[in-house]
Amino acid sequence: MEPKIKIWRLHPRTFERFVPHQHRDGYFRVADPTLGKVKHHAEHQIPVVSEEDLVAYIRRGYLCRMRGEETGQVNLIAASEIMTDAPGAVSAEPKASRTSPTSGVKTTSSMAMSLPPDLKPPASGLLPSHGRVACTDCFPGGTAEWGVSVVEGSGWRLTNNPMAWGGQNPRVLVLGFSKGGTQNDGILNRPHAEVAFRGGRHAVASVLGTLGLMPSDRSIDELIADRDGDIAFGSLVRCSVSKLDRRSGRWVMSGSDIMGSCLREGAIGHVISNCTRRYLACLPPRLKMVVIYGNDVDYVDGCLRAIAGVRPGVRKLNAVSYTDGTVAFIHVVHFKAQGGIVPNWCHGEPGRASHAEHDQPLKRELALQAIRLALAP
């Protein structure tokens, strides 16, 4: 029989769907996270009668016994990884064989926000205005000349040229990783509105259109240039990042390696921290979602960790998205992905890839799922 309330979890790497496991006695099982290492023991499992009561426990931080639909494996799953389509909050106490604790439970994905005094975001919560941004947080002495000043170290280079496009008080923020070589070419003299996503705007528009975020009567050029629009554009790192290719001796500004290694390597970590603190910690109240180009598993995890450091209570929605309960962060295919990867993400049929982590159509469906949740009343 189809359950009245759908409750599920997607494995972060295999994307296998897990559902609540109903034991032979007809009950579901949850576990109190405060019991620590013994919470998985059978004698500590709490029997639950209905999906409604199960949702109530999950929303209070209890773990749930869930079964993989493909492997049949039964695992105890943390509440922070579980999704449900149940509307609203559950006000009634869940029914079970023993009383549940009344203290709040902090899930493992929650992280406290601590901002140095000199990096606190503006009280208004508005995004940077359309144009060049005056920011010198990562430069010695807090001084830099826009488009000229450079700092280097441990094989990394940072050029001071932070920029912002679109509205200051939008509903959607669209982020690349950093400005690549194409965007940096002629940046000092090129009109500001032409820089963002230069050389990849057709793919940017295709992805946003697939997500239902492209107005039918506006072009991507118009959206990027609209300083009062409902969409803002920028990058996770507002300045331009380069990495030294040891083999060629050249500085490179794009590619999946630079995106992933920037988040992995400590040498550039302060840049990520400064940018997330200044530009993502305090967002406009109207803003409901941040669309991030790049959906490689390691990149998603790296961004999640960085953003969780400045936005408390971040938890995963699925393999390509996460939320703090106010704003959803949704990863999509990179607009410069090679070959037919972008069209496959936009129009392909899920389930045809040999490995789930490479299944771009499946990642599209997960992104659409996250958008529906972000826009739900």
For 129-160, the DSSP string reads PSEE----TTSGGG---TTT-EEEETTEEEE-
CA dihedral defined by 295, 298, 303, 304, rounded to 10 degrees?
A: 100
Extract the residue ranges of the chain whose pLDDT is less than 70.
Answer: 1-4, 12-13, 15, 85-124, 255-257, 260, 262-267, 377
- The model carries a pTM of 0.69
pLDDT at res. 257: 65
Give the CA distances from residue 84 to residues 28, 87, 361, 368, in Å, rounded to whole numbers and listed in that order.
15, 8, 22, 15
Q: For the chain, first and last CA: distance in Å?
A: 28
DSSP calls for 81-95: G-EE---S---SPPP
If you search the block for the tokens 């400590």, which residue do you land on? 266
Query: If we measure between CA atoms, which residue out of 99, 108, 106, 31 comes closest to residue 66?
Result: 31
H helices within 265-296, ranges in order?
Answer: 269-279
Count of Cβ atoms closer than 10 Å to residue 164 Cβ = 23
Would you tell me how many other CB atoms lie within 10 Å of the CB of residue 169? 17
Q: How far is CA 166 from the centre of its chain?
A: 20
Report DSSP letters for 325-374, one per residue. Answer: SS-EEEEE--TT--TTHHHHHHHPPTT-SSSGGG-HHHHHHHHHHHHHHH
Give residue 107's pLDDT: 25
- Do 173 and 290 contact (CB within 8 A), yes or no? yes
Please report which residue ranges of the chain form alpha helices under DSSP H: 51-59, 181-184, 201-210, 220-225, 256-264, 269-279, 297-308, 341-347, 360-375
Closest to 146 measured CA to CA, from 130, 134, 156, 138: 134
Nearest to 284 by CA among 180, 96, 63, 128: 128
Contact by Cβ (8 Å): 54, 31 = no
CB atoms within 10 A of CB 349: 9
Structure tokens that stand for 8 in this block: 């599920």
Q: What percent of the chain has pLDDT over 90?
A: 52
Burial 202-235 (b: 16+ CB within 10 A, else e): ebbbbbbebbebbeeeeebeebbbbeebbbbbbb
Map residue 323 onto helix, strand or coil. strand
Residues 260 and 302 sit within 8 Å (Cβ to Cβ): yes
